[in-house]
Chains A and B, each alone.
Chain A
Amino acid sequence: MAYKCIVLIKQVPDTSRITGEAMNEDGTVNRGALPAIFNPEDLNALELALEIKEKYGGSVTAVTMGLPSASEVLREALFMGADDAVLVTDRRCAASDTLATSYILTRAAEKIGCDLVLCGRQAIDGDTAQVGPQMAEKLDMPQITYVEEVHELTPSRIVCRRNMGNGWQRTACKLPVLLTVTDQANEPRIGAARRIMKYKNAKTPAEISKEGGSDEDIREMKNKGLLIGQLNLDDVQADLQWCGRDGSPTKVHRIMSVVLTAKESKEVDSSAQGINDMVHELIEDHTIG
């Protein structure tokens, strides 16, 4: 049996490297000043899908929703071993919250078709972990969250180990199913040199046109297996009332940058005397003792 896997990936700002310049005066994040990376746990999801394909047979399609520039992470997915890559991009996706995003990605997954959907447990820009379960509901599939290992896979059943933080579970269910994958699952592979050489030239139709390419060129790229698929909301037959801002029940009320400061603070001399005085003060005000 060959399993058709869709892996959802996201291009995210590298939040672990936020510096002063990355914050705008008004407290919002200047995404442009941050390097954009492949969301770390999505790499684990892709690795798991590739292992499934190698062990049980099938195919892996990487799908992302984002700006045209998100094609970058799709190329990385091709370097690692994905068979296909699809970019869902449309201006009308802008301002989608997790619910709208899950709707749009569901429409895309339904168009592509699959036995398994895999995604990272969460993305580091929002850490919400919501899009996976919301998609599972919309696809009417069971979900197995926090997967760290697939023990068994047959056409009728998958057995996974889930990391529950405070323990673990071994669970089974029928296919199709949606898995969210944690960073404990595996060590994502590095793209093979041979694949990098080939797929560094992979492009979306928009990228080909932008460089002056014709429809003929697009067809040729497709024949060479170098065309990254591109879908807009019409292609996936999305109902616009559930997309973008209109489709998003949550709205931003306010954004503030974080400036954590203690209300009152004291420099303590690191001498024995200084430390004795501090300890004394804490006993006096009943913080200790």
Chain B
Amino acid sequence: MIEVNRQGEVWVFAEQHLGKVEDIAFELLGRARELADKLGVKVGAVIAGDSIKSVCEELIQYGADKVYTVENNLLEHYQTNSYTKVLCALIEKHKPQIVLYGASPVGRDLAPRVASKMKAGLTADCTDLQIGNHEIKKTGEKHENLLLQIRPAFGGNIIATIINYDRWPQMATVREGVMPMPEPDSKRKGEVIDESVSLSAEDLPIEIIEEVRREKSVNLKASRIIVAGGAGVGSKENFRMIWDLANALGGVPAATRAAADLGYIGKDYQVGQTGTTVRPSLYIAIGLSGAIQHQAGMSESKKIIAVNNDPDAPIFDVAHYKVCGDLNEVVPQMIKAVKEKV
């Protein structure tokens, strides 16, 4: 753990794969920038890998004031122990007040290991991060300008705000797609700082025998319009309708877990707590009930249209346009209306 350090920077662990920075790092930099501006401190990005110099500029454009690089061929592939060693060494040296990680398979493997080693707090899967004050009611003790780590818990039924006022850094993981992607600014200036951390075979206990990365067949996050179908669509053949409406609108189709499990569409299209989190301009929810786990992935959409024949379906609670009717009539009519007008 490090002492409370009000001058400490706000850090982002910049996850990269084969020299390409993952989107989540840019999303985190956007929020880190806002948090750091509130605190009046700098934003640092930490990147480790084999040859990573070329991406430092990009991290600066997305909001980093400083990029700490640790280049070493032993860091080419992510490994829990070696990356933990790097992060802990840099945290101890520079004493950031906040460290953010993606809640990706790598981030969720790394962050708890770092937290354990540093004996610091960590909050998983935050959906929002803010700066705020905390008062301990019993003692009247006040802590100002803390990181408010906001996350759903109990299957999304409650929202908890977590803080960490004494054993710093304050650390959190954030899922991809939750924070808006900032616009890069090619004029931003920043500093690249080379760091080195000595590593030996002991820090690399894992042998990676084989690795297959599968790029997602669809990028839901990048779509402005999403047309999601649920179990109510009824069959894979009928799901064609969802594709047709999405095509007519220039959007992409998506699904609930129930619809994906029924094989109406591939798993990559699943929106929700265990799927992708999206925030499009328009989300059309068709024949889906709006379970809390589904809402967790789409409630931030700018406009929501719900089509459901059950007037009590929970999806209507978050919809801006409520169409109560049979999807088999409503959706063809929507396709027709769109084709005529757009």
* A and B: interacting chains: yes
Residues of A within 8 A of B (CB): 13, 15-16, 18, 22-23, 27-29, 97-99, 102, 124-138, 142-146, 159, 164-174, 242, 248-258, 260-268, 270, 272, 274-276, 278-280, 282-283, 287-289
A29 x B164 contact (CB < 8 A): no
Answer whether A278 and B117 are a contact pair too, CB < 8 Å, given A250-B162, A258-B292, A288-B342.
no
**Contact between A282 and B80, CB atoms less than 8 A apart:** no
| Contact (Cβ within 8 A) B342 A283 | yes
Are A13 and B154 in touch, CB under 8 angstroms? yes
B281 touches A265 (CB 8 A): no
Contacts of A283 in B (CB 8 A): 341-342
A260 touches B317 (CB 8 A): yes
| Contacting residue for B320 out of A15, A262, A274, CB 8 A | A262
Closest CB of chain B to A273's CB: distance in Å? 10
In the complex the two chains form, is B158's CB within 8 Å of A136's CB?
A: no
Q: Which of B44-52, B64-72, B230-238, B324-332 contacts A (4 or more CB under 8 A)?
A: B324-332
B154 and A173 contacting across the interface, CB-CB below 8 Å: no
* Cβ A287 vs Cβ B303 within 8 A: yes
Whether the Cβ atoms of B323 and A278 lie closer than 8 Å is yes
Cα A198 to Cα B213 in complex, Å, equals 47
Task: Report if B123 contacts A (CB, 8 A).
Answer: yes
CB-CB under 8 A for A133 and B321, given A165-B105, A169-B208, A250-B164 = no
Could you say which of A143, A274, A280, A289 contacts B109, with CB atoms under 8 Å apart?
A143
Question: Is the pair B124, A279 in contact by a Cβ cutoff of 8 Å?
Answer: no
- Cβ 8 A contact of B112, one of A130, A173, A242, A254: A130
Q: With contacts A133-B112, A171-B208, A288-B225 known, is A27 near B158, CB below 8 A? A: yes
Query: Contacts of A16 on B, CB cut-off 8 Å?
Result: 155
B75 within 8 A of A: no
Known: A258-B152, A265-B321. A136 touches B113 (CB 8 A): yes
Chain A's interface: helix, strand, loop or mixed, by majority? mixed
Q: By the criterion CB–CB under 8 Å, are A253 and B122 in contact? A: no
Establish whether residues A287 and B302, one from each chain, have CB atoms under 8 Å apart when the complex forms.
yes
Q: Does B167 contact A (CB under 8 A)?
A: yes
Judge whether B338 is part of the interface by a CB distance below 8 angstroms.
yes
Among B132, B157, B326, the residue within 8 A (CB) of A257 is B157
Are B116 and A102 in contact, with the CB atoms below 8 A?
yes
The verdict on A128 contacting B163 (CB below 8 Å), with A136-B113, A171-B208, A260-B295 known, is no
Q: CB distance A288 to B213 under 8 Å?
A: no
Determine how close the nearest CB of chain A comes to the CB of B45; give it in whole angstroms. 22
- In Å, the complex CA distance between A254 and B104 comes to 26
Give the shortest distance, in Å, between B256 (CB) and chain A (any CB): 14
Number of CB contacts from chain A to chain B under 8 A: 239
**B residues adjacent to A (C-beta < 8 A):** 1, 80-81, 84, 104-105, 108-109, 111-113, 115-117, 119-125, 132, 134, 146, 148-149, 152-167, 205-216, 225, 249-250, 273, 281-282, 292, 295, 299, 302-305, 317-326, 329-330, 333-334, 336-338, 341-342
| Interchain nearest-CB distance for B50 vs A (Å) | 18
Cβ-defined contact, A249 with B166, below 8 A = yes
Contact A266 B119 (CB under 8 A): no
Across the interface, which residues of A come within 8 angstroms of B326, CB to CB? 270
Least CB separation from B133: chain A residue:
A253
Given contacts A253-B134, A260-B318, contact A145 B108 (CB under 8 A): yes
What 8 pairs between A and B have smallest CB-CB spacing?
A270-B325, A15-B155, A249-B121, A249-B167, A137-B116, A128-B124, A134-B116, A133-B112
**Chain A nearest Cβ from B150, distance in angstroms:** 9
Which residue in chain B gives the minimum CB-CB distance to A268? B323
28 CB contacts below 8 A, A to B, read A15-B154, A27-B158, A99-B121, A125-B155, A130-B124, A133-B80, A133-B108, A134-B113, A136-B80, A145-B108, A159-B209, A168-B211, A171-B209, A172-B209, A173-B205, A250-B121, A250-B164, A251-B134, A257-B157, A258-B159, A260-B299, A268-B305, A272-B337, A276-B333, A276-B341, A283-B341, A287-B303, A289-B341
How far in angstroms is the closest Cβ of chain B from A91?
19
Instruction: Indicate if the CB atoms of B317 and A262 lie closer than 8 Å.
Output: yes
Contacts of A255 in B (CB 8 A): 158-161
Q: Which residues of A contact B119 (CB under 8 A)?
A: 99, 242, 249
* Residues of the A chain whose Cβ atoms lie less than 8 Å from the Cβ of B146: 253
Residues on the B chain within 8 Å of A287, using CB: 281-282, 302-303
List residues of chain A with CB within 8 A of the CB of B325: 270
Given contacts A260-B318, A265-B322, 14 further A-B contacts (CB under 8 A): A28-B158, A136-B113, A248-B121, A249-B119, A250-B122, A250-B149, A253-B148, A256-B158, A258-B157, A258-B292, A260-B295, A266-B320, A274-B323, A276-B333
- Cα of A147 to Cα of B115 in the assembled complex, Å: 22
Q: How far is the CA of A22 from the CA of B125 in the complex (A)?
A: 23
Q: Which of A137, A250, A268 has the most CB of B within 10 A?
A: A250
Find out whether the CB atom of B317 lies under 8 angstroms from the CB atom of A130.
no
User: With A134-B115, A142-B206 given, is the CB distance from A15 to B157 under 8 Å?
Assistant: yes
Q: How far is the CB of A144 from chain B (nearest CB, A)?
A: 7
Rounded to whole angstroms, the CA-CA distance of A168 and B105 in the bound complex is: 11
Contacts of B158 in A (CB 8 A): 23, 27-29, 255-258
Which residue from chain A places its CB closest to the CB of B159 in the assembled complex? A256
- Rounded to whole angstroms, the CA-CA distance of A164 and B207 in the bound complex is 16
| Residues of chain B contacted by A159 (CB below 8 angstroms) | 209
CA distance A27 to B154 in the complex (A): 12
> Which listed residue (B162, B281, B333) contacts A252, Cβ 8 A?
B162
Q: Does the CB pair B323–A270 fall under 8 Å?
A: yes
Q: Separation in Å of the B295 CB from the closest CB of chain A? A: 6
Q: Which residues of A contact B122 (CB under 8 A)?
A: 98-99, 130, 250
**Which residue in chain B gives the minimum CB-CB distance to A174?**
B205
